[in-house]
Amino acid sequence: MDVDVVVIGAGPAGENVAGRAVRGGLSAAVVEEHLAGGECSYYACIPSKALLRPMELAAEVSRVPGLSTGPVDVAAVLARRDEAISGLDDSGQVEWVEKLPAALVRGRGRLTGPREVEVTAADGTVTRLRARHAVVLATGSVPVVPGIPGLAQARPWFNREATTVRQVPERLVVLGGGVVACEMAQALHALGARETTLLVRGGLLGRMEPFAGELLADSLRKSGIDLRTGVSVERVERPVDGGPVTVRLSDGSAVEADELLVATGREAAVGDVGLESVGLAAEGPVEVDDSMRVPGFDWLYAVGDVNGRNLLTHMGKYQARVCGDVIVARAAGEPDDGPALRDSADGRGAPQVVFTDPQAASVGLTAQAARDQGMDVRVVDYDMASVAGAYLLGDGYVGRARMVVDESRKVPVGVTFVGPGVGELLHAATIAVTAEVPLEKLWHAVPSFPAVSEVWLRLLEEYGL
């Protein structure tokens, strides 16, 4: 089959490249070996947030005198999760792709040469696709499996098992201190993992401002999660015929549990994608320039987790919009270097919300990252519990905000909020940081009273306006 654009991987990034390419008048084929919609729709963003929502709401309710929640109906929560992931049925997404219109080709895609992709279906049927203009790798990522003795034999859980859980284990050990570990430990603990142990070799949420991990650690401990920082796992044991898993730690102690969830990061999914057939190293991430093109090629692109820029759905979709539009411009022989045709957001520090209680939301640079870039930095912190709107949300509100200002330009280059529900505050920060809005202009963006957004006014006052 000959088409203008072949996309390998129908996750959020791949689907969006196809969408933009077709919108620009090109034809597209999308290759998918598992479920159209990708990891995000079935095993990552969507189910994890469906599992976290009851925990978040119960925590909110517990902070308001006069209200209480009953015990959680786990079956109902899991049923809502199943609805959110369409029971692992991708027909809705397939319909979306076909309506673009683009062809969805089921099977494993593999580069076999310049502009050539071979697709092997589950029944062994092989389809050959030839791209007139571009091949886009959008194969996503897979969990990193640490080389801990005994781990592989102990049948650990990764994100898929955790997010599609049918029976919540009573005793759960989670390895890792990143976003997946924190979100899933909190969700599963609230859904019945009575004994939840979180094993972290450093601190929590290492890519954010240090106070984000510290405030979250306090909250996890308060909720009864056994958080152990500064520990590493020496070995893992589990009888071949089943039974509990034993995790032996560097401090000589051991933890026994029903399941072990490994959340130690993700790596680009490039296994058997045929990179070497076009002269690339068979390793990820696949490096790209700001038009999402692989250096040295005029037809090969990579978007989403596979290029390693920022492993976030919204950033993958942003890259996909850039990529699709660039391919359209280049195919038409039009200028391909307009401001909308280059990725300028990834390097600035992607917006991200961690959906724990408290939530942690950040965009741009941390104070340390800004200093490392040689900026003359001023850091402004504010205790969010002092904002009237936060006080009114509930008793015992804990939260903190930080604005990192580039003093030479008097613009915010990084903003972090930690507190219940602060994720919805983030987009204002994303606009301010992306548009490089000077503080003296932000001063005239008056936040409504008594909304938690008043923290913006407080940050500016702290700065000295």
Ligand X SMILES: Cc1cc2nc3c(=O)[nH]c(=O)nc-3n(C[C@H](O)[C@H](O)[C@H](O)COP(=O)(O)OP(=O)(O)OC[C@H]3O[C@@H](n4cnc5c(N)ncnc54)[C@H](O)[C@@H]3O)c2cc1C
Ligand Y SMILES: NC(=O)c1ccc[n+]([C@@H]2O[C@H](COP(=O)([O-])OP(=O)(O)OC[C@H]3O[C@@H](n4cnc5c(N)ncnc54)[C@H](O)[C@@H]3O)[C@@H](O)[C@H]2O)c1
Among 53, 63, 80, 108, binds ligand X (CB under 6 A): 108
Instruction: Say whether 203 counts as a known binding-site residue.
Output: no
262 binds, among ligand Y, ligand X, none (CB under 5 to 8 A by kind): none
User: How many chain residues touch ligand X (CB under 6 A)?
Assistant: 37
195-200 vs 226-229, strand pairing mode:
parallel
| Among the listed residues 104, 88, 108, 86, the one whose alpha carbon sits nearest the alpha carbon of residue 96 | 104
Task: Count other C-beta atoms under 10 Å from residue 439's C-beta.
Answer: 19
Instruction: Say whether 150 counts as a known binding-site residue.
Output: no
**273, 110 Cβ separation under 8 angstroms:** yes
Cis amide leading into 358 (omega within 30): yes
Query: How far is residue 55's CA from residue 66's CA, in Å, rounded to a whole number?
Result: 19
178 binds, among ligand Y, ligand X, none (CB under 5 to 8 A by kind): ligand Y
Taking contact as CB under 6 A, which single stretch among the options 230-238, 292-300, 308-316, 325-333 is the one that binds ligand X? 308-316
Binding status of residue 316 toward ligand X by CB under 6 A: yes
Instruction: Say whether 317 counts as a known binding-site residue.
Output: no
351 binds, among ligand X, ligand Y, none (CB under 5 to 8 A by kind): none
Query: How far is residue 76's CA from residue 80's CA, in Å, rounded to a whole number?
Result: 6
Considering the complex, state which of residue 320 and residue 459 has its C-beta at the smaller distance from ligand X: 320
358 binds, among ligand X, ligand Y, none (CB under 5 to 8 A by kind): none
Binding status of residue 336 toward ligand X by CB under 6 A: no
* CA distance between the termini of the chain: 63
Minimum CB–partner distance for residue 365 and ligand Y (Å): 16
196 binds, among ligand X, ligand Y, none (CB under 5 to 8 A by kind): none
Instruction: Say whether 177 counts as a known binding-site residue.
Output: yes
Minimum CB–partner distance for residue 120 and ligand X (Å): 9
Binding region for ligand Y (CB under 6 A): 146, 175-181, 183, 201-202, 206, 232, 263-266, 311-312, 352-355
Task: Count other C-beta atoms under 10 Å from residue 298's C-beta.
Answer: 11
Minimum CB–partner distance for residue 68 and ligand X (Å): 29
Q: Binding to ligand X (CB under 6 A): which residues in 248-287?
A: 269, 273
8 binds, among ligand X, ligand Y, none (CB under 5 to 8 A by kind): ligand X
Among 6, 20, 28, 38, binds ligand X (CB under 6 A): 38
Task: Count other C-beta atoms under 10 Å from residue 149's C-beta.
Answer: 13
Over the chain, what HEC string results? CEEEEEEECCCHHHHHHHHHHHHCCCCEEEEECCCCCHHHHHHCHHHHHHHHHHHHHHHHHHCCCCCCCCCCCHHHHHHHHHHHCHHHCCHHHHHHHHHCCCEEEECEEEEEECCEEEEECCCCCEEEEEEEEEEEECCCEEECCCCCCCCHHHCCECHHHHHCCCCCCCEEEEECCCHHHHHHHHHHHHCCCCEEEEEECCCCCCCCCHHHHHHHHHHHHHCCCEEEECCCEEEEECCCCCCCEEEEECCCCEEEECEEEECCCEEECCCCCCHHHHCCCCCCCCCCCCCCECCCCCCEEECHHHHCCCCCHHHHHHHHHHHHHHHHHHHCCCCCCCHHHCCCCHHHCCCEEECCCCEEEEEECCHHHHHHCCCCEEEEEEEHHHCHHHHHHCCCCCCEEEEEEECCCCEEEEEEEEECCHHHHHHHHHHHHHCCCCHHHHCCCCCCCCCHHHHHHHHHHHHCC
Considering the complex, state which of residue 10 and residue 432 has its C-beta at the smaller distance from ligand X: 10
Binding status of residue 209 toward ligand X by CB under 6 A: no
Among 22, 28, 32, 455, binds ligand X (CB under 6 A): 32
Query: Binding pattern to ligand X, positions 7-26, x when CB under 6 A?
Result: -xxxxxxx------------
Considering the complex, state which of residue 138 and residue 260 has its C-beta at the smaller distance from ligand X: 138
Minimum CB–partner distance for residue 285 and ligand Y (Å): 12
181 binds, among ligand Y, ligand X, none (CB under 5 to 8 A by kind): ligand Y
Binding status of residue 422 toward ligand X by CB under 6 A: no
264 binds, among ligand X, ligand Y, none (CB under 5 to 8 A by kind): ligand Y
Instruction: Say whether 243 counts as a known binding-site residue.
Output: no
Instruction: Say whether 399 counts as a known binding-site residue.
Output: no
Considering the complex, state which of residue 14 and residue 24 has its C-beta at the smaller distance from ligand X: 14
354 binds, among ligand X, ligand Y, none (CB under 5 to 8 A by kind): ligand Y
Minimum CB–partner distance for residue 379 and ligand Y (Å): 23
Binding status of residue 55 toward ligand X by CB under 6 A: no
Instruction: Say whether 414 counts as a known binding-site residue.
Output: no
Query: How far is residue 11's CA from residue 5's CA, in Å, rounded to a whole number?
Result: 16
220 binds, among ligand X, ligand Y, none (CB under 5 to 8 A by kind): none
Residues in binding site: 49, 109, 139-141, 176-183, 265, 305
Residues in binding site for FAD: 49, 109, 139-141
Query: What is the binding site for ligand X (CB under 6 A)?
Result: 8-14, 31-35, 38-40, 44-45, 48-49, 108-109, 138-141, 159, 163, 180, 269, 273, 304-305, 311-314, 316
